[in-house]
Chains A and B, each alone.
Chain A
């Protein structure tokens, strides 16, 4: 049967989503719209292979032009962005659950990366950042000599 791999299991992921939703509820601002401030936004998944670190974030409705990504100090990734709220004229809201506004998030990477070779892809609202590891961050096989 087809099974899906989930980071830290479904329950953990669900709790994270739920927590974020709760924070969004309590961080709600006066006009009823939710803002990104006060929450960890966007949520990130991070993984690695032998040569790269990868960070993925769900950013529906953003455009690459609205996003700024930097690698600083060779091991910090910062992502900033902004999403505009649709301006309604002569309309009545029934639901307003989607967040708007600006966000900024800074994460520390587990190792050093080559900031000149960082690349990003954005499709269907999913951002994937690929950061090649510096030589010293790569796993090294230690040869054991038999004497």
Chain B
């Protein structure tokens, strides 16, 4: 049993039939993530500063996980003395090879970090086989 996670770099100009297209202006950033797997679940942690729970959209469909955090400009009409980073939405998709129990996916967002729990379906969990002695 192996798990496959394929990263798709965000492509704002990219169009897909099943995916909602990015219509808002402004840059799109790929959030940095940590992903680990335990025997019960996959856990995905993403840095999404400035994203609030209200503006975070997570979808899981056909083994594709789509994360989109909307970030509105925090300052407007101001005098920038210098700027080292841009502000924009966070977007990233993953192909999850592991069988995930979509009903039980849960997410929390704290201090700009999203933690997503993707529980495995019962069928793929490692099971200890009891050996009976006769």
In the bound complex, how far is the Cα of B35 from the Cα of A94, in angstroms?
5
Tell whether, in the assembled complex, residue A47 and residue B47 are in contact, meaning their CB atoms are under 8 Å apart. Answer: no
Tell whether, in the assembled complex, residue A95 and residue B33 are in contact, meaning their CB atoms are under 8 Å apart. Answer: yes
Tell whether, in the assembled complex, residue B77 and residue A126 are in contact, meaning their CB atoms are under 8 Å apart. Answer: no
Tell whether, in the assembled complex, residue A58 and residue B27 are in contact, meaning their CB atoms are under 8 Å apart. Answer: no
Per-residue CB contact flags for chain B residues 17-28 toward chain A (1 = under 8 Å, else 0) read: 000000011110
Count A-side interface residues using an 8 Å CB cutoff: 48
B contact residues around A125 at 8 Å (CB): 47-50, 111-113
In the bound complex, how far is the Cα of B82 from the Cα of A40, in angstroms?
14
B contact residues around A56 at 8 Å (CB): 74-75
B contact residues around A4 at 8 Å (CB): 25-26, 73, 87-88
Known: A47-B79, A126-B112. A94 touches B37 (CB 8 A): yes
Chain A nearest CB, measured from B42 CB (Å): 8
Known: A94-B37, A126-B49. A16 touches B85 (CB 8 A): yes
Q: B34 is contacted by which of A10, A95, A126 (Cβ under 8 Å)?
A: A95
A residues touching B (Cβ–Cβ < 8 Å)? Answer: 1-8, 10, 12-14, 16-17, 40, 43-49, 53-54, 56, 58-63, 86, 88, 90-99, 110, 122, 124-126
B residues touching A (Cβ–Cβ < 8 Å)? Answer: 3, 5, 7, 24-27, 29, 32-39, 42-43, 45, 47-52, 73-88, 111-113
